[in-house]
Structure 1
């Protein structure tokens, strides 16, 4: 099958993420250069050498602007960045966010809220924008699956895990973010729901699952329990979210019987729909 040619009008999924990160990096770099330009060159260089925070900022800006190894690929729309780069950006952005919030909070506590508001106005809102930009990088680099759930294509996204089922070869491939967890025989996998209650073994026809899933995603209503067969998203004790486990039970693999491939909490309605569809698809293989 011929693939769609990627042009400027039809960019690969993930290009927007790369553009957003580089734009944030350029904004931070511009503001940093503007601040150092108001100081003497020798004094600013000496302060940079003697300040570990300045070195951390330089590394962070370099990674954020150049994004080494980043490439938008249609097969992984939510992960155009290498895993090491995503983790590094998350770490530096978290440190930057803490430092910015601590600096602004300490200044407001010592100088008073009136002078703090005046300082925000004098810096054109930068004292508020800087923590927001670091938080934006944290949000963009948050743990995500490779793709969105597509029941018709047998692709499921639950939490940060992505599952691809091939009915022709009866194989299942599981990814944790961008890292491949493994490839399994679909007949050896099963879904175990919260509180150790396995779903009833009576399979639901695929069209019913697809229709129920689409109605839930569009209308926000839960399918009847008799048709769905999956527990609701009601929180348990102390507000804990219900969890599911993907189990691998292979009689042929010595020492691998009844192992947990992943365990994840169902944090939203989309996760529950994907988990129920995955359970039904595995039972129909």
Structure 2
């Protein structure tokens, strides 16, 4: 199959994430340079050398602007950044968010709301924008699977885990974010719902999921609604339902009945993906 040529009008998935992070880095760097310009050069350098927070900000800005190792690839649309870079940005953004909120909160507590509003107007809203920028980096770098759920392509996303099923070799590959957990025989995998969640047949049938190519001998289809996944209602303790992917291989001594991953169904998309994965694995 011919691959689509990537042009400016058809950017690779993940390019938007790289652009957004660099844009945030440019805004923070511009504000940093503007603040330094208001001070004497010697005083500014002295303050930077003696301030651990300034060093942390410099490293954070360097990572945001240059994004070493970042590359938009169609195979991992939600993970254009290396895992170490994503974790580092999350850490620095979290520290920056805490420092910004603490600074603004301390200023408001000491100066009062009236002077705080005047300070926000004098800084063109920077006192409110700065925490939001750090929070935006945290949100962009949040744990995500490699892709969205695509039942027709046999790709499933549950929490931060991604599952791909190959109908030719009948193997299943599992990723935790960008790290590959392993590759398994699809016939040795099963989905287990949390204890106390009943799986009962439902009369309503939804579009079938076919394992195998179109017209392939032995290809079977089962209604996606043949097994009802539990609703996303929380328990009495406020806990959301969980699902597990189990690997039971009689040939692997010492590895029988092993949990590949355990994920919490936080969204309706997670529930649909887990339900579709369960239905697909039953057809193998």
Q: Same fold (TM over 0.5)?
A: yes
Provide the C-alpha distance between the structure 2 equivalents of 1:138 and 1:175, rounded to a whole number of angstroms: 21
Aligned to 2:168: 168
Cα contact 1:201–1:283 (8 A) shared by 2:
no
Q: What is the CA–CA distance in structure 2 between the aligned matches of 1:32 and 1:108, rounded to whole Å?
A: 22
List alignment gaps of at least 5 residues for structure 2: 211-222
Cα displacement string for residues 133-171 of structure 1 (whole angstroms, at most 9, x for unaligned residues): 000000000000000000000000000000000121110
Give yes or no for contact 2:120–2:126 (8 Å, CA) kept in 1: yes
Mapped to 2, the partners of 1:139 and 1:197 lie a distance apart of: 31
Work out whether residues 146 and 162 of structure 1, in 8 Å CA contact, stay in contact via their aligned partners in 2.
yes
3-state secondary structure, aligned to 1:195: coil
Deviations 1:91-137 (A, max 9, x none): 00000000000000000001101100100000000000000000000
SS in 1 for 2:237: helix
CA contact (8 A) 1:192 1:198 kept: no
SS of the equivalent of 1:25 reads helix
Equivalent residues in 2 for 1:1-285, closer than 5 Å: 1-195=1-195, 199=199, 207-208=207-208, 227-285=226-284
Tell me if structure 2 keeps the 8 A contact 1:242–1:265: yes
Residue 205 of structure 1: CA displacement? 8.2
Question: SS where residue 208 of structure 2 aligns?
Answer: helix
String of CA shifts for 1:179-210, please: whole Å, max 9, x gaps.
Answer: 000000001100001116574699x9883369
Structure-2 residue corresponding to 1:214: none
Counterpart Cα distance in 2 of 1:9 and 1:229:
42
SS of the equivalent of 2:207 reads helix
Instruction: Normalising by structure 2, report the TM-score.
Output: 0.91
Is the 1:171–1:184 Cα contact (8 Å) retained in structure 2? Answer: yes
5+ unaligned residues in a row in structure 1: which ranges?
211-223
- 1:206–1:281: 8 Å Cα contact kept in structure 2? no
Which whole-Å CA distance do the structure 1 matches of 2:37 and 2:233 have between them? 55
Q: Which residue of 2 aligns with 1:216?
A: none
The answer (yes or no) to whether the contact 2:247–2:259 under 8 Å persists in 1 is yes
Indicate how the Cα distance of structure 1 residues 83 and 121 shifts in structure 2: closer, same or farther if over 3 A, else same. Answer: same
Question: 1:225: how far off?
Answer: 11
Alignment check: 8 A CA contact 1:146 1:175 kept: yes
Q: SS of the counterpart of 2:259?
A: strand
With the length of structure 1 as denominator, give the TM-score of the two structures: 0.91
Q: C-alpha offsets along residues 31-72 of structure 1, whole Å, 9 cap, x if unaligned?
A: 000000010000000000000000000000000000000000
Give the secondary-structure state (helix, strand or coil) at the position aligned to 1:239: coil
Name whichever structure is richer in helix by fraction. 1
Cα distance change on mapping 1:226 and 1:158 into 2, 3 Å: closer
Task: Name the SS of the counterpart of 1:116 in structure 2.
Answer: helix
